[in-house]
Amino acid sequence: MTKYVYLFKEGNADMRELLGGKGANLAEMTNIGLPVPQGFTVSTEACTRYYADNLKIGDDILEQINVALAETEKICGKKFGDLESPFLVSVRSGARASMPGMMDTILNLGLTDVAVQGLARQTGNERFAYDSYRRFIQMFSDVVMEIKKSFFEGALDEVKHAKGAKFDTDLTADDLKEVVKKFKAIYLREKGEEFPQDPKVQLMESIKAVFRSWDNPRANYYRRMNDIPGSWGTAVNVQSMVFGNMGDDSGTGVAFTRNPSTGEKKLYGEFLMNAQGEDVVAGIRTPQPISALEATQPEVYNEFVNIAQKLENHYRDMQDMEFTIEHGKLFMLQTRNGKRTAAAALKIAVDLVDEGTLSTDEAVLKVEPKQLDTLLHPNFDPAAIKKATAIAKGLPASPGAATGKIYFTADDAARAGIAVVLVREETTPEDIEGMDLSKGILTARGGMTSHAAVVARGMGRAAVVGCGELHISEEKKTLTVGDKVYHEGDDISLDGSTGNVYGEMLPTVETTVSGDFARLMAWADKARTLKVRTNADTPRDTKQAVSFGAEGIGLCRTEHMFFEADRIAAVREMILADTVEQREVALAKILPMQQGDFEEMYKALEGRPMTIRYLDPPLHEFLPQKSMIDEIAALANELHTSSEKIVEKIDALHEFNPMMGHRGCRLAVTFPEIARMQTRAVIQAAIAVKKEMGYEVVPEIMIPLVCDIKELSFVKKIVVETTEKVFEEQGMKLEYHIGTMIEIPRAAITADEIAKEAEFFSFGTNDLTQMTFGFSRDDAGKFLGSYYENKIFESDPFAKLDQDGVGKLVKMAAKLGRETRPNIKLGICGEHGGDPSTIEFCHNVGLNYVSCSPFRVPIARLAAAHAAIKANKKK
């Protein structure tokens, strides 16, 4: 019989897939003798079964839960449902990867109208008992029964108002009894039945709610963003309760072994006395720094410091821990590798190597490639910051510069379609999509471990939280600071590194990378075998990419060089030419410009290779649209022809499906003189730069959109003949290569044939995805949303390579290509070339390089290192 339920003492840290991160670590902490309130974990496989069984928990699983519950009762010496000494538990989700989109916690489960009295008698603390009960009713109603939280908050506020209480802690036991009464009335009103009084029913409903939360829209969105497969499922942890709200010698907190924002090696965290966990995370009361615990409870503090160090040593990584103090006794509720900013990730990884804890390969694996993105994006211009005056200051929760328009709800922010800064009292898991689509997040409440802070750091969004000077009205859509009022759509900037907020748009500057970054990247470069090139068409982008470590250009899209104002006229003249002679006159004007571009690019590359892709767009893209009457008249004037003639040509060039139309090598087949001109430009530029700079330049000429070897042979012949002619004219030869893109399924299928002519393949996975799926790459965004909602797709195949389909073609073409030409060079230059999961695939298929946009070069270098280290581990 499959085992679905594990007592904490039966698991360990290696069982993450089955027990989820939280469950595996609770088990591990139990094993190493730390004070962990005992309980059990219902496995991720039980969650998958729940879905397979049509949202039912199987009888065998129910039976195993009951057995584990009985065992836990024995361990704790209490009985579930006991009316005198009730046994209370918490129920928490816990997937393999930590997922803020999911249900988090239900506390105090097991309380009923009768049990609460028992708890009051047993603890001699009636206030505590009813405080726990009202919290439980609210959490159960909200997260299990989906009754709006605001109903309960409103009722609590009513009682507080009536009693003149400022804080929840000002309410007496009798006040809280009244709150409980009101809460139960809300439950009855909303559900049409009484609040459940059977603890087993409460427990099973909660477990089901955790399973359901795996599939809520927020969790689905988070998974898509982070490449987490829907098939993993979540585990559920049922743990006996300890209480941080038992009085002034009790409390609860969260702490990191190192600073999650900067990486500094210093215990960092917050706690609240006389409180339960959600008070800290929700940011309702402002917590105290962990160091303050030393003064009030020195023994607990010292024990905690020791445990924190023990956990960090044990896991060899920075830990994020939750703890509770019950009547002066410390309990550990959770530990996990802490989420951190990119800067902190680099510092911690490098420090752990210097401290002798990690090898360099292990340190490389500690930094998520995608995370580097935040480091490579702009900060505020220091000169502008000096002059600007901050309107407010909050906590620097997640670094980076954000400027945008103010929006007050996550939905509005998500729909705005412009650069926005999300301004909220505090954020909740429902806000996750709006947060992701914002440049930055600003909240009035909450600490460094509040939802807004944790989630923004994970996403790499700039965030300032707990900015108490702000008065935010979501209803009126206003932000008031002092006597100044800001409205929706007003400008705002925030600096996530200092916590400063500015009531204006401030200019940003690009960052330079050095220090820890450089050291870690050097280790990554040593570990990887895959080369990293860049897609660039201008010297500026090329220099940027080289400064980020690009080892050459994998794709220079030459059509991008034709769009500049001063050359589009000559291109139009070429397109509108009626005869070859006329076209050659126009091409002769373009040649020196194109050659000049290539020379500059070769110089920017300082001897690194460059793959130059021949003209690829549909020709009509260069002409004005028919509605642009003035532009057409001006063009007619320039070319000594009539507007009608130009309109005729525009009509003639119109295509119903330009993506499958007259583009790529098809242009060179129709107009060989274009390929001739481009070859001259490439070879003459290479010779000129070689002469001037003294280093070898080895042109790589790439023919796009090939579907048949004969097409390639045809264009190749033109290239070779022209090159030979240029060599003769220049009295000099150099090495050069001719290859092709594999971006049409037929090319992949006949790659063995094509390799007879091609010295290299570059997989154009944008078009290969388009044509393999039959999805227009320009339009798929309009319907892919429905595909995610209906679970047809988990991710965008244009961003993350579809390894089962498109990847199969890539693998096959690589194998066929190598069969014909064993030393054929293989690369990828579609957008996927910068995606870490695709890069791992490319490493495993044995490609020679990936090519991606300049800002993704460091990400690709790191991802290539991850792939190599992981593959070596498997060997």
Give CA separation, 22 vs 26, 57, 109, 320, in Å.
Answer: 6, 21, 19, 11
- Tokens 């390969």, located at residue: 361
Cβ-based neighbours of 544, under 8 Å, separated by 6 or more: 536, 854, 855
Cβ-based neighbours of 52, under 8 Å, separated by 6 or more: none
The β-bridge relationship of strands 471-473 and 478-481 is: antiparallel
| Nearest-angstrom CA–CA distance, 521 and 376 | 13
Restricting to residues 517-556, name those near ligand PEP by CB under 6 A: 555
| 743 is a site residue for ligand PEP (CB under 6 A) | yes
Residues 827, 850: contact at Cβ < 8 Å? yes
Q: Considering only 339-347, 642-650, 729-737, 763-771, which stretch makes contact with ligand PEP by CB under 6 A? A: 763-771
Does an H or E element contain 485, and which?
strand 484-487
Which residue number, 481 or 784, has a Cβ lying nearer to ligand PEP?
A: 784
**Smallest distance from Mg ion to CB 613, Å:** 8
Give CA separation, 182 vs 141, 159, 166, 175, 623, in Å.
Answer: 13, 9, 19, 11, 70
| 772 is a site residue for ligand PEP (CB under 6 A) | no
Read off the amino acid at residue 457.
R
Residues 494, 442: contact at Cβ < 8 Å? yes
Which residue number, 531 or 603, has a Cβ lying nearer to ligand PEP?
A: 531
Which residue number, 121 or 777, has a Cβ lying nearer to ligand PEP?
A: 777
Residues 786, 817: contact at Cβ < 8 Å? no
Helices (H), 32-125: 44-52, 59-76, 115-123
Q: Determine the size of the site formed for ligand PEP (CB under 6 A).
A: 10
Q: Considering only 260-268, 545-553, 636-644, 765-773, which stretch makes contact with ligand PEP by CB under 6 A? A: 765-773
| Nearest-angstrom CA–CA distance, 236 and 43 | 7
Q: Considering only 18-26, 57-65, 117-125, 737-745, which stretch makes contact with Mg ion by CB under 5 A? A: 737-745
Which residue number, 22 or 613, has a Cβ lying nearer to ligand PEP?
A: 613
| Nearest-angstrom CA–CA distance, 106 and 68 | 19
Which residue number, 113 or 778, has a Cβ lying nearer to ligand PEP?
A: 778
479: its two tokens: 């932000």
Which position among 47, 556, 707, 829 bears the catalytic label? 829
**What is the signed CA dihedral for 139, 142, 147, 153, rounded to 10 degrees?**
70
- Report which of 586, 582, 539 is spatially closest to residue 560, judged by C-alpha positions: 539
| 665 is a site residue for ligand PEP (CB under 6 A) | no
**Smallest distance from ligand PEP to CB 675, Å:** 17
**Smallest distance from ligand PEP to CB 780, Å:** 14
| 368 is a site residue for Mg ion (CB under 5 A) | no
**Smallest distance from ligand PEP to CB 762, Å:** 8
- Residue 429 binds what, of Mg ion, ligand PEP, none (CB under 5 to 8 Å, by partner type)? none
- Residue 12 binds what, of ligand PEP, Mg ion, none (CB under 5 to 8 Å, by partner type)? none
Q: Considering only 354-362, 426-434, 572-580, 760-768, which stretch makes contact with Mg ion by CB under 5 A? A: 760-768
| 767 is a site residue for ligand PEP (CB under 6 A) | yes
**Smallest distance from ligand PEP to CB 661, Å:** 13
Read off the amino acid at residue 216.
N
**Smallest distance from ligand PEP to CB 616, Å:** 6
| 742 is a site residue for ligand PEP (CB under 6 A) | no
- Report which of 206, 234, 236 is spatially closest to residue 222, judged by C-alpha positions: 234
CA-CA-CA-CA torsion sign (177, 178, 183, 188): positive
| 767 is a site residue for Mg ion (CB under 5 A) | yes
Which residue number, 320 or 767, has a Cβ lying nearer to Mg ion?
A: 767
165: its two tokens: 């209480």
| Nearest-angstrom CA–CA distance, 625 and 631 | 9
Hey, is 706 helix, strand or coil?
coil
| 764 is a site residue for ligand PEP (CB under 6 A) | yes
| Nearest-angstrom CA–CA distance, 271 and 286 | 9
Which residue number, 126 or 616, has a Cβ lying nearer to ligand PEP?
A: 616
Binding pattern for the stretch 605-624 against ligand PEP, x by CB under 6 A and - elsewhere: -----------x--------
Which residue number, 764 or 817, has a Cβ lying nearer to ligand PEP?
A: 764
Rule CB under 5 A: choose which of 178, 433, 551, 743 binds Mg ion.
Answer: 743
- Residue 765 binds what, of Mg ion, ligand PEP, none (CB under 5 to 8 Å, by partner type)? ligand PEP
- Residue 233 binds what, of Mg ion, ligand PEP, none (CB under 5 to 8 Å, by partner type)? none
Query: Residue 47 catalytic?
Result: no
Hey, is 547 helix, strand or coil?
helix
Which residue number, 512 or 657, has a Cβ lying nearer to ligand PEP?
A: 657
Backbone angles phi, psi at 398, to 5 degrees: -150, 120
Which residue number, 28 or 767, has a Cβ lying nearer to Mg ion?
A: 767
- Residue 555 binds what, of ligand PEP, Mg ion, none (CB under 5 to 8 Å, by partner type)? ligand PEP
Binding pattern for the stretch 685-724 against Mg ion, x by CB under 5 A and - elsewhere: ----------------------------------------
Binding pattern for the stretch 551-580 against ligand PEP, x by CB under 6 A and - elsewhere: ----x-x-----------------------
Rule CB under 6 A: choose which of 404, 672, 830, 858 binds ligand PEP.
Answer: 830
What single DSSP character describes residue 338?
A: P
**Smallest distance from ligand PEP to CB 676, Å:** 22
Hey, is 382 helix, strand or coil?
helix
Q: Residue 606: is it exposed, middle or buried by C-beta count within 10 angstroms (0-12/13-18/19+)?
A: exposed
Query: Residue 451 catalytic?
Result: yes
Which residue number, 399 or 764, has a Cβ lying nearer to ligand PEP?
A: 764
**Smallest distance from ligand PEP to CB 674, Å:** 16
The β-bridge relationship of strands 484-487 and 508-509 is: unpaired
Q: Measured over all CA atoms, what is the biggest interatomic distance in the chain, rounded to whole angstroms? A: 103
- Report which of 540, 547, 544 is spatially closest to residue 518, judged by C-alpha positions: 547
Which residue number, 46 or 801, has a Cβ lying nearer to ligand PEP?
A: 801
- Residue 368 binds what, of ligand PEP, Mg ion, none (CB under 5 to 8 Å, by partner type)? none
| Nearest-angstrom CA–CA distance, 587 and 595 | 12
Which residue number, 649 or 663, has a Cβ lying nearer to Mg ion?
A: 663
- Tokens 């009464």, located at residue: 181
Helices (H), 780-835: 781-789, 806-820
| 766 is a site residue for ligand PEP (CB under 6 A) | yes
Q: Considering only 96-104, 178-186, 498-506, 763-771, which stretch makes contact with Mg ion by CB under 5 A? A: 763-771
Which residues sit opposite 740 in a β-bridge? 703, 761
Hey, is 132 helix, strand or coil?
helix
With helix as H, strand as E and coil as C, how does 687-702 read? Answer: HHHHHHHCCCCCEEEE
| Nearest-angstrom CA–CA distance, 313 and 311 | 5
Question: CB neighbours (10 Å) of residue 433?
Answer: 18
Cβ-based neighbours of 584, under 8 Å, separated by 6 or more: 673
Q: Which residues of this chain interact with Mg ion, rule CB under 5 A?
A: 743, 764, 767
Q: Which residues of this chain interact with ligand PEP, rule CB under 6 A?
A: 555, 557, 616, 743, 764-767, 829-830
Known catalytic residues are 451, 829
